[in-house]
Amino acid sequence: MKKIKDQIEKKVFETPFIDTHEHLIDEYERLACIEPIIPCDDWALLLNHYFSFDLISSGISKNQIDNLFSKNVTPINKWRILKEYWPYLKNTTSGIVFRHTVKILYGINEISEDNIPELQKRYEQTRKKGFYKYIIQDIAHIKHCHVHSPISACKKSEFSDLIFQDIALNGLIRVAIEPYSVPENVKINSLSDWHSLIDWWFSEYNQISKGVKIGNAYFRRLNFERVEANEVEKIFIRKIHLQIVSNEDEKKLQDHLFWYCVDKATEYELPVKMHTGQWAMNNAMNMNWVKDNPSDCASLCKQAPNTKFIFFHLCYPHYEEMLSLAKNYSNAYIDMCWSWSINPLAAKDFLKKFILTVPNNKIFTFGGDDKIVENLIGHAFVARKGISQALNELVTENWITIGDALDLTDDIMYKNAEKIFKK
């Protein structure tokens, strides 16, 4: 009989994911190299997301980072910039994601000065019309992706069976008039105009969206309270006339708009996806806010029992609290997107504990949370490796049987997502 580890690995690597969170732009926008999302069009672009945040953390200068992602620096000179930092980054998971991506996609086992021309050639050969489908479905073995667009609150997808756009609510809650929340020709003069604008986004896109996404944890605590419209009407007017708004008033206005949006999502039966935990961007993370995320999320679940809340990233590093939250609240779900690439050992530990602690229909195990499609290959590899290890350990530690582990795989990799995001 084949070893347990081999059987589980085979099953996990043969099972497709539904990818519940990415920041991909459309393929034609990628091919057109739209700035600033796509700053350059060479092999270094693959490093232009989580790897670059780790580079900044390692101490690389602003000038070096600018050059690494410049259109005016040659591919070989980009390696000469990276070389100094590569030994420190190659074993972080963002480095491992990159290494597996170039290995699986381009057949390059170890990056070095000698093979940069080959790496660049393979990058260019792959990056051509039709490569999104090739990478997502044929190589990464992903059925489809949910996408939070980095440039628009929502839009019709270029590939309607491959990329499903979530409605991104950040700007609608923060009243960010630029760059993407207000369609041209819409005039905003009052709070009720803003409500109509939110209504418009929902009525226009609820049919094609799988959910809504709220990333406001990057700007504040998640302690949203219900505030009536008449309490914030004047604050809204000050805000759109660019007058000073106190922190207290800003919170009130956002609280009101958050619940307006969440109630609207619930009316349209769209799950509400929320960022929790670790911040991607460097040198700003408020760890007190992050620490409060789990209890703030519990309060949201309690205030809106009919809303399905999907909490992202395990609220890393506070993942024990998220197990407790998901175990207790029937409307709390966990999406492990990005967590395999933040800390794969914590993600493995979380998944093992989740399986033994929380009903197993409430977890989605994959999203690369990336904007560069090639990287989905490395993210999916790391996630499948972690899921295999978690299941294998549960079996060999005698918590569950090999049959249980094999049965669970479909649910946690795609069936749970099919059931919850059924629209």
Q: Which residue ranges make up the site for Zn ion (CB under 5 A)?
A: 369
Q: Select 255 or 369, whichever has its Cβ closest to Zn ion.
A: 369
CB 145 → Zn ion: shortest distance, Å?
12
Structure tokens at 273: 């996806």
Structure tokens at 376: 């989905």
Q: What is residue 21's three-state secondary structure?
A: strand
Backbone region of residue 182 per phi and psi (left: phi > 0; alpha: psi in -120 to 50; beta: other values): beta
Q: How far apart are CA 167 and CA 149, in angstroms?
A: 9
Could you identify the residue written with the tokens 């990478």?
A: 135
CB 166 → Zn ion: shortest distance, Å?
10
Q: Select 38 or 168, whichever has its Cβ closest to Zn ion.
A: 168
CB 148 → Zn ion: shortest distance, Å?
6
Residue number with the shortest CB distance to Zn ion? 369
Q: Select 19 or 369, whichever has its Cβ closest to Zn ion.
A: 369
Kindly give the residue spans of alpha helices, DSSP state H, lying in 358-411. 375-396, 402-410
**Distances in whole angstroms, Cα of residue 353 to Cα of each of 30, 347, 391:** 39, 10, 11
Structural element, H or E, at residue 332: strand 332-335
Q: How far apart are CA 355 and CA 114, in angstroms?
A: 45
Closest CA relative to residue 347, chosen from 417, 396, 277: 277
Structure tokens at 343: 């800390």
Q: Select 82 or 274, whichever has its Cβ closest to Zn ion.
A: 274
CB 367 → Zn ion: shortest distance, Å?
8
Q: Select 92 or 149, whichever has its Cβ closest to Zn ion.
A: 149
Q: Select 50 or 69, whichever has its Cβ closest to Zn ion.
A: 50
Q: Select 235 or 380, whichever has its Cβ closest to Zn ion.
A: 380
Our measurement of the distance from residue 282's CA atom to the centroid of its chain's CA atoms, rounded to an integer in Å, reads: 17
Q: Rg of the Cα trace of the chain?
A: 22
Our measurement of the distance from residue 193's CA atom to the centroid of its chain's CA atoms, rounded to an integer in Å, reads: 30
Q: Select 157 or 392, whichever has its Cβ closest to Zn ion.
A: 157
Give φ, ψ of 179 to 5 degrees.
Answer: -100, -10
Dihedral of alpha carbons 358, 360, 362, 364, sign:
positive
CB 217 → Zn ion: shortest distance, Å?
11
CB 278 → Zn ion: shortest distance, Å?
11
Q: What is residue 316's three-state secondary structure?
A: coil
CB 52 → Zn ion: shortest distance, Å?
15
